Amino acid sequence: MNVRQTTVWRALNTALHDAMREDERVFVMGEDITKWGTGGGIYGVTRKLVDEFGEERVRATPISEEAIVAAGVGAAMLGLRPVVELMYSDFTLLAMDGIVNQAAKAHYMFGGQFSVPMVLRTNGGAGIGKAGQHSQSLETLFAHIPGLEVVLPTTADDAYGLLRASIKTENPTIFLEHKALYTTKGPVTGEILPLGVPAVRRTGTDVTVVGTQQGVLRSLAAAERLSDAGVSAEVVDLRGLYPLDLDPVFDSVRRTRRLAVVHEACGPYGFGGEIVSRVVEACWSELDEAPVRVTAARSPIPYSEVLENAVVPQVDDVVRAVLALVGDRHAVSGA
């Protein structure tokens, strides 16, 4: 593929087309993915797949997340490579036995006789007014489960390259897209990216800001604001929670000597605590300040845009947290 500008949803769609052309074992299944003319589900990611590959490899399912995931696990154990779509990550809670007790544990429980190369594609996060039951950030929950891989693409290039890699891995993978980023556009190289490798989105010298998805984009916007005040922020995108090589984060913190972690999930028991803990363990003597977390409040996500913005961390919240880390000598207008 030549480098081209495209949206996240189109990059995902292209990744599915390419994976299915390359490997006949790959098939997709989910609710409403063959309906509405050319198909595509509610965000268009499976658009036109049924036109090329037919209903044997593009399977419309009943409205039962438990049954969808269970069928995917069984198909994967028998040698296929299913890509299971659930409309929202909130609905994974209806299928947790299949995800946690079956997909994650089958390789171990059967002594390595079976693998479960299943990708569960879904979306999480807030920002488009979907309210409390369609806006949760559940990535930490899945990262806590041994046997699962958890991928969090931010850019269109990530969407393509990380989905291709997730389909190739032998492990069950929770591929969590962000519903507010589907229409964001960026360059796509067509390269298959390694899982678990963070990306430095902006270099800086005064503070390391670590995040995922919308948290990364808001951190980049905050870094622009901070630069006007003479604060140089380095922004690191984790791109997933497991596997995860934190060496790029450690290297960054050893240079900047400060850390802020940004995520949309509520703060208590969120993945920010894990990042902070591991940075403190690895870089204790090189930290000038205690790391901080910039997270959502411990609250359901409200439907109201004003209340949603108050609960989920915004650009101003990141700016204020970083200013507190670097000291009172800096000020940003409007922060």
26-63 tens-digit pLDDT: 999 999 888 654 567 788 899 999 999 999 999 999 99
Tell me if residue 226 falls in helix, strand or coil.
Answer: helix
Among 185, 60, 181, 195, smallest CA distance to 119 is for 195
Give the model's pLDDT for residue 327: 84
Bond prior to 243 in cis (omega within 30° of 0) = yes
In the numeric block, which tokens belong to residue 198?
A: 């963070």
Q: Is-contact 134 128, C-beta < 8 A?
A: no
Report the mean per-residue pLDDT for the chain: 93
- Give the Cα separation of 186 and 209 in Å (integer): 21
Looking at the chain, how many residues does it have?
335
Strand order in the sheet with 240-242: 58-60, 26-30, 81-85, 119-124, 173-178, 149-151, 240-242
Give the model's confidence band at 271: pLDDT under 50 very low, under 70 low, under 90 confident, else very high: very high
335 band by pLDDT with thresholds 50, 70 and 90: very low
- Give yes or no for residue 274 having a pLDDT over 70: yes
Q: What's residue 39's pLDDT?
A: 60
Look at residue 40 and give its three-state secondary structure.
coil
Taking residues 191-205, what's their average pLDDT? 98
Q: Is 177 a catalytic residue?
A: no
Instruction: Look at residue 331 in the predicted model and tell me its pLDDT.
Output: 46
- Candidate list 107, 134, 178, 330, residue with the active-site label: 134
Predicted TM-score of the model (pTM): 0.94
Q: Would you say residue 244 has pLDDT above 90? A: yes
The residue from 31, 65, 85, 149 that is catalytic is 65
Cα within 13 Å of Cα(7), Cβ side: 13
Look up 85 and say whether it is catalytic: no
